[in-house]
Amino acid sequence: MALSTPLIFSADDFGLSVGVNEGVELAHTQGVLTQASLMVAAPGAADAVRRARALPGLKVGLHLVLVDGDSLLGHAKLAHITGPDGRFGQNQAALGFKYFFLRAARRELRAEIRAQFKAFAATGLPLHHADAHKHMHLHPTVAAMMIAAGREFGLTRIRVPAEPPGVMKACGARVGFGDYALYYWSRLLRFQARRLESARHVFGLKWSGHMTIERVRLLLRHLPAGSAEIYFHPAAARDAAVQGLMPDYEHEAELAALLALKKAQ
């Protein structure tokens, strides 16, 4: 099911830190940002919720964290899929293997996904959409559980990270086999989420963390027909959380791009 909105500017990692939250707020109030995805177990989640409640025009969804981030239930309840610190590891392939083949891991995964949706509901914010950190919902097991739990909490929209390689090639990006493979693999998620709304095209994968104003303007000149989402990782400052998890990302440049687009309107 396609979205009626032709172009969406969104932000990931809302709640990761105060610096990220400030970036999201600025990008919405002074830029073109229309929606953000909340990490409910992240250190800055409470601050993000407070800001979101004061920004009724900002559409907020769940940024499901099942890799490289904090869990909600902790290691005692997620012994097979988190480390002793209660965090999900960075190895997506290893976690994906567990999520697919280990019954105990799937049981824990299902519980964590539902817990994150429940925590989002507890904020009182309307659930606008859902996606996943590092697009872990491209994993069919994760997607199935995410959609099932989401429907229980009123989920109607989901991100299908389908970035057309031809468009990126036209923008001057190097496109290889992996880009095409990911694009076609996203069709499975689109089929699984066929009863939910989703943008036809999503941009931000190839240039993740590096969506500068020059690149965004280039992309806007080559946008294909149909609804599209462009996602960013804005932050007002590179604090410890941002530096530790994404040391090579240009968070402040991405915020500047969202502000510049507003000024150009």
Q: What is the pLDDT of residue 263?
A: 87
Q: What is the pLDDT of residues 87-116, one digit of tens each?
A: 999 999 999 999 999 999 999 999 999 999
136 secondary structure, DSSP code? G
CA–CA dist 14, 58 (Å, integer): 12
Q: What is the percent of the chain with per-residue pLDDT over 90, rounded to a whole number?
A: 92
CA–CA dist 163, 215 (Å, integer): 15
- Token readout for 142 is 């994760």
- What structural domains and CATH numbers belong to the chain? 7-264 (3.20.20.370)
pTM for this predicted structure: 0.95
**What's the chain's length in residues?**
265
89 secondary structure, DSSP code? P
What is the identity of the amino acid at 245? Answer: L
What is the identity of the amino acid at 44? Answer: G
Per-residue pLDDT at 239 exceeds 80: yes
Q: What is the pLDDT of residues 196-236, one digit of tens each?
A: 999 999 999 999 999 999 999 999 999 999 999 999 999 99
Q: What is the pLDDT of residue 5?
A: 54
